[in-house]
Structure 1
Amino acid sequence: MAWPQITLTKILIAINTKKSFKFQGVNTLFSALSHEHASTRFDFTLVKSSQMSKSELVDPTYVEKVKEYVNKQPLVPAYLQYKGLVHQHLHSFNYFTSTDMQYILSANSLVSSDVDPHFYLRYTNIYVGEPTLDEEFISKKVTPQECRLRDATYSANIYVDVKYMRHRNVLVEKKGIVIGRLPIMLRSKNCVLYGKSDNELFKDHECPLDPGGYFIVRGVEKVILVQEQLSKNRILVDVDKKGEVCASVTSSTHERKSKTNVVVVKGKLYVKHNSFTEDMPIVVVMKALGVVSDKEIAMMVGHESQYLTTFGPSLEECSQLHIFTQNQALEYIGRRLKITKRLSKTYADEARDLLAGVVLAHVPVEGVNMLPKAIYFALMARRVIQALNKTVDIDDRDFVGNKRLELAGQLLSLLFEDLFKRFNSDLKKSMDKVLSKQNRAQDVDLVRLLQLQVDSITQGFSRAISTGTWSLKRFKMERAGITQVLSRLSFVSALGMMTRITSQFEKTRKVSGPRSLQPSQWGMLCPSDTPEGEACGLVKNLALLTHITTDIESEPIVKLVYVLGVEDILTVQAIHRPGNVLVFLNGLVVGITRREEEFIKDFRTMRRKGKINEFVSIYFHNQTNSIHISSDSGRVCRPCIIVENGVSKVTREHMKELENGILTFNDFVHQGLIEYLDVNEENDSYIAVYENEIIKETTHLEIEPFCVLGAVAGLIPFPHHNQSPRNTYQCAMGKQAMGSIAFNQLERFDTLLYLLQYPQQPMVKTKTIELIGYDQLPAGQNATVAVMSYSGYDIEDALIMNKSSLDRAFGRCIVLKKFGTNIRRYANGSFDRIVPTSKIDGKIPFKGAILDDDGIAAPGERILPGQIYVNKQMPVSLANETSFTPAPLSYKGAVPSYIDKVLLTSNGDSQETVKVLLRQTRRPEIGDKFSSRHGQKGVVGLIVPQVDVPFNDQGICPDIIMNPHGFPSRMTVGKMIELLAGKAGVLEGKLHYGTAFGGSKVEDVSKTLIEHGYSYSGKDYLTSGITGEPLQAYIFMGPVYYQKLKHMVMDKMHARSRGPRAVLTRQPTEGRSRDGGLRLGEMERDCLIGYGASMLLLERLMISSDAFEVHVCMKCGLLGMKGWCTGCSTGRHIVQMKIPYACKLLFQELQSMNIAPRLVLDDI
């Protein structure tokens, strides 16, 4: 049979026209060609040549197959509108105030007295009020802006309702008793800004774009960073430091936290716990838990020979110890416990209590039945044996599914629990003290006792958030660096800080595992936004659509699991019989099932119908043959579109209803169109990135691929065209760029504030820029950039600036610095005072020239270095109220400034404060740092008059000239495309998009340039401004968005000839702020020694540093004083010489340790 010849040209025509290509006839199918447009399907059906005419071969039939794809982008703003960028912080704090506080109160609701058993107090309710500020015994409502200005804490009262017994049988009920104050998170349900419209926020002097999610403590904005932890209550199999396999579980409940390990020592399994003095054989522990039969214990671990062989030595060891009953096992364990004070209990009772309450604290036991714990230990042993026999891999600690993120709510919950327990123990002591008094006639005033303890909770919260140190005595937990000051350098830096994740991992350890980019971080954590240096990979940022779960009640889930056909684990005889699949809920075994696929399918159906909370996840673990259900807090998850039978459930009609406001994002979740997947459930799913990649096995579809990036990395245009480290550099520099920080920026009194005078929104935007509001609060300007070499001042990334552009305020910024002082009141009633400056010979001296009649500088005045802006005086002694000493605040800056604003106020403690804001306007100068949005940073190398700058045929001059050597090694193609798209946008009057994995196409942009008479490549014909001749090459020129960074040469420049010295060593002080010297270090000293420059060494290290004249005795070689040697008791041999003061100090310190350094001197 002869086959017709199909030329490749015909096939390529079909591919290029994107049409389906069909030959009619008998079904002999060729495999479809694969190419980049996976959306185009080709079926080639050929027939025998006898049945096909020549004309059919020449003119094949084209059949159109057009599949329309749904634009899902509106789902992203809908999600952010429903959740917000910092929703996890707010959700967590709201959960703490509404639910967690109630749980903590219920667990500690009773306070009873040891002195009078009839007297007790019971808490019945707890709630948080609205933010207030106490002023002269009056409590008034307060806004966050007022707290910022007045250095007060934005906090609200915590109220409790109590019942207590007054007499033997009189029960008294009191409501609304204040037990302390809780700092309130901005934009949470307790905040005054919650649910307010933009206009109402303006009235409260707040910025509508400010995300909230932070606290204000003593006027300082503080963020509780998201903390990364290993997941609790889960078995993790790992290799310990000795290289042995070990299964560990960290139990965490409201009552107790402990760690239990199952380790292998010389082929036998042992249980390791802090309460045991030595490792306990696992069989002894299981017998102590009530499983006495060796056969039963072996069956709990596994029936197969691999388990029996490995577990055999452990069973033998138990029989060698002659332990056969539960009591013998308990006695054996009881004698090996770390208990300092033994009560009247027997060893067996001690061991029973410890096993029931402390070991595996998260596994619940009912009465004396400790079978659930025995099953759990058997599972741990089974996992260890599987890892030893290499049938199951050990767990990856860096896998995101094995991590939990702790938010502000959980951390405050831990802190409140500790403070509340301390509060109750102090209350109990006070009660016992009052009740133990003889002949107490009056009743105990419990309300007064409660109010006496108020400060302990208030100060506990304030201290923890101010210092960032969480010290919990109950759990022996000491963690530092939990909070940080909110960076207000730019709008993006504040936003980036709200999504930052930090871990308690030691930053100094050079380990690559925890730092590397894990595949499980896809869509959950931003791949680009991580700092450089020691924190690289340890500090991460959340992606755009990430959600962090809060605790979900597990009782209804357990009931549902049993309804769906799971057998209770306590009723099952042989747990590990073939076909049995274990079902776990939050790390606890709840039962077994034999129809795992149906169970998982039914469970997911129930979740999609809204019968179960949308954040509960379920997945099947292949290697351990088990089903895991999770409803705990701290899991990272993200929304994905559900795909069924190869079709996305979100249709064009749904998107229209969303755009018309009929549906919200929540409706998509409740209607089963979108569901949240955590990292573990993602492993069970088959997710398509684009709709045209959906195949039969696909279960989910990404909402938008650009959502894998975070809020900061999302600002980069065309990031998918850049080398990846460049995007990481931009994430760091984007936070240092000056711009607008908020709509209320001019009403703030920040310590240091950088503002760009004329910020512009970029010509090339991304979808993220619109979503986070960066286009309303930008940090940069569109500069016309020419890529060419111009003089030698542009090497090493230096930029050449056009002087006329700087005259027209390109890169001009305002620097605002706050200075202030407190008017202190002293115990004897005296206080500091501010007085006007006094005239000398009828004239006001230079230092006080700008002071007003009240002794404070007037707003708008120009202040010169050395001038006073607050003329303060302090009492000389507290005894005498009449004499005062001057303590003025004078300006120490190098260049003149202007008094921008003056604020006179008092904080919450009624302490008066004076704040003065100084303003400088700076234009770019040589040495100032600039950067594009592609990690291309450089300093200004030269400022050139416009007449010398090249110009194109329209007379347009570049604002910045950049050296072309910045491109080849950096490979920032995104910057080139940005220049092209920006140029096309300027010509046609529209903004282009450079969103990741999308955005404007180079072909379309080039077409626009050609239509407007420009080269498709973006190159222009330029004429030299110096010679007037055409340049010898076409120059790549167009607009690029440039950021001015905070690093300015004026703030770095430092030199000194003489100045202050350290008291101890008499050497120059260190640091620019203290007018210190420039350190000549050990390496520099070695260089000078190497060159043999002895006089230069002498000059640098002694004459210009700490030369000191000493008297030395030539006879004994020791230091004398005032021409007298105390050792020789004579002054005849004393000579004078100069040595460094630090050297003299060393000699004296050695002498104090009984080491006598003697100088051997000769006459020269």
Structure 2
Amino acid sequence: MIDKKLLVQKFFEEHSLVDSNIASFNSFINNQIQQIVSDQKEAIPAVVPPDVEEVKFEFGAVQVKKPTVVEADGSERILLPMEARLRNLTYASKVFIEVGIVVDGKERERTEVEIAELPVMLRSELCHLSGMNKKELVGAGEDPNDPGGYFIIDGTERVLVYLEDLAPNTVFAKKEKTGPMTHKVSLFSAYDTYRIPHAIERNKEGMFLMSFTTFSKIPIVIILKALGITVDKEIIELIDYDMNDDIYINIYEAIDIKTAADAQEFIAKTMHLTLPKDRKIQRVIYMLDNLLLPHVGRDPKDRKNKARFLGRMIKRLILLKDNKIKPDDRDHYMNKRIRMSGDLLEDLFRTNFKVLVNDMLYIFQRGVRRGRIIPLAAIVRTKLLTQRIKSAMATGKWTSGRQGVSQRLERDCYTNMFSHLRNVVSLLEASRESFEARELHPTHWGRLCPIESPEGKNIGLRKTLAILSHITHSTDKSEYKKSMIAMEDLGLKKF
């Protein structure tokens, strides 16, 4: 007979209830920070000294050290979490980055500079408590049974709650119950920190109209022609569906648009931009390349792939209209993603690192205008990035405009603390009815607690992970690319 209590005991000896969140933070430190810096790669100031043609700032390796504190006399030593609590300090690590200055193709200087102090999650790889046994934890002033998974900001324990969001880059089809539109397919196209909503709707006349950013209800065939698919036969092949009235109607309505330039000019007119004609066209091309389905690509050579993706969306819309598929269940947990501390900090760091780079360029260019060359160490303002990250984590106001992302850790009792560390909060506003989103879904079974949710306007929007649920992490982009190359070598073809 299996001893169930022993099984549960052994499980929790090997797994913490906050393992997933700690692993997410570790991934952010070990992978995401370097990836963000590598994506930036370099920065080129517009103003340079008179005897110089080009100056470049190049960004290299990132190093994150364990938490320390600098005393009034200038001495530096390790900082433990209990001291941070007692002295109202932030338990944070210094982040260093390798920066080089290249003048007219020749490297003049390369040094490691401090760019920020980053709050550290307790029990993560950077935390001094990591790897300590019970006796050592007691000696450090800690409860050996404390799981970690939270931060200390100005002496206050704060937790980044899990955010429940729709899966990005996933197409959802639905029937419209009211209004001039009958059917709709939509998705959030995600790239870096951007999440751009896209939608293709069918009106009662059978026209397919697309909206994204400032593009509002543009006929989809004109979008396809603006991407370079100007032959009607190619458009039909992209949709890959038996010819029906809707396809005929949409192609006929765009019959006067012969070239990609005609389509781009048509779109520019619908946007009502107060710009010269050529600037309007440039703006349309920029939006097609950078804001239309950015997850597919952001280069002119990716336009055909974007057209193929739109063809699949149109086909899905027609299948729904012909009752050959059912509307997608947006509340199915297959269509949800949980964003943990690493994901949230990645968004915060990426946005504010760009602010830091722009500030570096501003300081350098200001010095050039005044006839001075500022040393590299003086160009980087460490406090700028530190204060912006610390402010977001202290107030809970995130770069996306979302509030309440960071919350004060509830210590009413031991079990309540665990509950708070495993809270899952929906991005939907509490003031909206959203009955279906608040209801229990069969796919919550084993993943979310069916009972624990607050009364009142947050009911069903604030949930808690089930005791044995575990959150996996997204695949690293480099590993994904390796897998794709391997599959292509085996004969797999891209759509």
Q: Are the counterparts in 2 of residues 237 and 247 from structure 1 also a CA contact under 8 Å?
A: yes
Q: 2:298 & 2:79 partners in 1: Cα distance?
A: 49
Tell me the residue number matched to 2:356.
Answer: 423
Tell me the residue number matched to 1:157.
Answer: 94
Tell me the residue number matched to 2:345.
Answer: 412
Counterpart mapping for 1:118-517 below 5 A: 118-136=54-72, 137-165=74-102, 169-175=106-112, 177-240=113-176, 242=179, 244-254=182-192, 256-265=194-203, 266-276=205-215, 278-305=216-243, 308-319=244-255, 322-337=256-271, 345=278, 347-364=280-297, 367-368=300-301, 370-438=303-371, 440=372, 443-450=373-380, 453-470=381-398, 472=399, 477-517=400-440
SS in 2 for 1:524: coil
Q: 2:92 & 2:166 partners in 1: Cα distance?
A: 32
Structure 1 residues 462, 350: closer, same or farther in 2, change over 3 A?
closer
Q: CA deviation at 1:488?
A: 0.7
Q: Are the counterparts in 1 of residues 91 and 152 from structure 2 also a CA contact under 8 Å?
A: yes
Q: 1:499 & 1:255 partners in 2: Cα distance?
A: 24
SS in 2 for 1:234: coil
Q: 2:298 & 2:361 partners in 1: Cα distance?
A: 31
Counterpart mapping for 1:980-1129 below 5 A: none
Q: 1:339 & 1:504 partners in 2: Cα distance?
A: 33
Q: CA deviation at 1:107?
A: 1.6
Instruction: Give the stretch that moved more between structures: 224-233 or 72-81.
Output: 72-81
Q: Are the counterparts in 2 of residues 228 and 503 from structure 1 also a CA contact under 8 Å?
A: yes
Structure 1 residues 406, 339: closer, same or farther in 2, change over 3 A?
farther
Structure 1 residues 461, 549: closer, same or farther in 2, change over 3 A?
same
CA shift digits 1:644-668 (9 cap, x unpaired): xxxxxxxxxxxxxxxxxxxxxxxxx
Tell me the residue number matched to 1:113.
Answer: 45
Q: 1:327 & 1:112 partners in 2: Cα distance?
A: 32
SS in 2 for 1:435: helix
Tell me the residue number matched to 1:1116.
Answer: none
Q: CA deviation at 1:167?
A: 8.7
Tell me the residue number matched to 1:92.
Answer: 24
Q: 2:221 & 2:167 partners in 1: Cα distance?
A: 27
SS in 1 for 2:365: helix
Q: CA deviation at 1:79?
A: 4.8
Q: Are the counterparts in 1 of residues 218 and 267 from structure 2 also a CA contact under 8 Å?
A: yes
Q: CA deviation at 1:560?
A: 4.0
SS in 1 for 2:435: coil
Structure 1 residues 495, 432: closer, same or farther in 2, change over 3 A?
same
Q: Are the counterparts in 1 of residues 54 and 103 from structure 2 also a CA contact under 8 Å?
A: no
Counterpart mapping for 1:710-859 below 5 A: none
| 1:518 is aligned to 2:450 | no
Q: Are the counterparts in 2 of residues 469 and 482 from structure 1 also a CA contact under 8 Å?
A: yes
Structure 1 residues 245, 77: closer, same or farther in 2, change over 3 A?
farther
Aligned AA for 1:280? Answer: I
Which TM-score applies when normalising by structure 1? 0.40
Q: CA deviation at 1:286?
A: 1.1
Q: 2:485 & 2:118 partners in 1: Cα distance?
A: 37
Aligned AA for 2:416? Answer: S
CA shift digits 1:732-768 (9 cap, x unpaired): xxxxxxxxxxxxxxxxxxxxxxxxxxxxxxxxxxxxx
SS in 1 for 2:436: coil
Q: CA deviation at 1:168?
A: 8.0
SS in 2 for 1:423: helix
Q: 1:120 & 1:509 partners in 2: Cα distance?
A: 49
Q: CA deviation at 1:564?
A: 5.5
Q: 1:563 & 1:108 partners in 2: Cα distance?
A: 31
Q: 1:469 & 1:237 partners in 2: Cα distance?
A: 32
Structure 1 residues 78, 282: closer, same or farther in 2, change over 3 A?
farther
Aligned AA for 2:390? Answer: S
Q: 1:80 & 1:546 partners in 2: Cα distance?
A: 12
Q: 1:374 & 1:127 partners in 2: Cα distance?
A: 41
Q: 1:170 & 1:221 partners in 2: Cα distance?
A: 44
Q: CA deviation at 1:565?
A: 4.8
Q: Are the counterparts in 1 of residues 193 and 347 from structure 2 also a CA contact under 8 Å?
A: no
Q: CA deviation at 1:482?
A: 0.8
Q: Are the counterparts in 2 of residues 227 and 503 from structure 1 also a CA contact under 8 Å?
A: yes
Which TM-score applies when normalising by structure 2? 0.92
Q: 2:286 & 2:319 partners in 1: Cα distance?
A: 31
Counterpart mapping for 1:818-967 below 5 A: none
Tell me the residue number matched to 1:1123.
Answer: none
Gaps of 5+ in 2: none
Q: CA deviation at 1:456?
A: 1.3
Aligned AA for 1:463? Answer: S
SS in 1 for 2:34: helix
Q: Are the counterparts in 1 of residues 193 and 350 from structure 2 also a CA contact under 8 Å?
A: no
Q: CA deviation at 1:82?
A: 4.1
Structure 1 residues 361, 337: closer, same or farther in 2, change over 3 A?
farther
Alignment root-mean-square deviation, CA: 2.3
Greater helix share, structure number: 2
SS in 2 for 1:195: coil
Aligned AA for 2:188? Answer: T
Q: Are the counterparts in 2 of residues 152 and 218 from structure 1 also a CA contact under 8 Å?
A: yes
Q: CA deviation at 1:195?
A: 1.3
CA shift digits 1:958-1000 (9 cap, x unpaired): xxxxxxxxxxxxxxxxxxxxxxxxxxxxxxxxxxxxxxxxxxx
| 1:103 is aligned to 2:39 | no
Q: Are the counterparts in 1 of residues 396 and 406 from structure 2 also a CA contact under 8 Å?
A: yes
Tell me the residue number matched to 1:562.
Answer: 488
SS in 1 for 2:201: strand
Q: 2:89 & 2:469 partners in 1: Cα distance?
A: 33
Structure 1 residues 479, 124: closer, same or farther in 2, change over 3 A?
same
Q: Are the counterparts in 2 of residues 256 and 358 from structure 1 also a CA contact under 8 Å?
A: no
CA shift digits 1:324-363 (9 cap, x unpaired): 2223222222333465666x94655443332121111111
Q: 1:256 & 1:511 partners in 2: Cα distance?
A: 25
Q: CA deviation at 1:528?
A: 2.0
Q: 1:345 & 1:71 partners in 2: Cα distance?
A: 76
Q: 1:75 & 1:286 partners in 2: Cα distance?
A: 58
- Higher RCO (CA-CA < 8 Å; seq separation 6+): 2
SS in 1 for 2:284: helix
Tell me the residue number matched to 1:530.
Answer: 453
Structure 1 residues 415, 340: closer, same or farther in 2, change over 3 A?
farther
Q: CA deviation at 1:369?
A: 5.1
Q: CA deviation at 1:103?
A: 1.2
Q: Are the counterparts in 1 of residues 84 and 90 from structure 2 also a CA contact under 8 Å?
A: yes
Give the percent of matched residue pairs that are identical in Structure 1 and Structure 2: 28
Q: CA deviation at 1:213?
A: 0.5
Q: CA deviation at 1:527?
A: 1.5
State which structure, 1 or 2, has the greater radius of gyration over its C-alpha atoms. 1
Q: 2:370 & 2:275 partners in 1: Cα distance?
A: 30
SS in 2 for 1:335: helix
Q: CA deviation at 1:216?
A: 0.6
CA shift digits 1:58-91 (9 cap, x unpaired): xxxxxxxxxxx87787665555444421012111
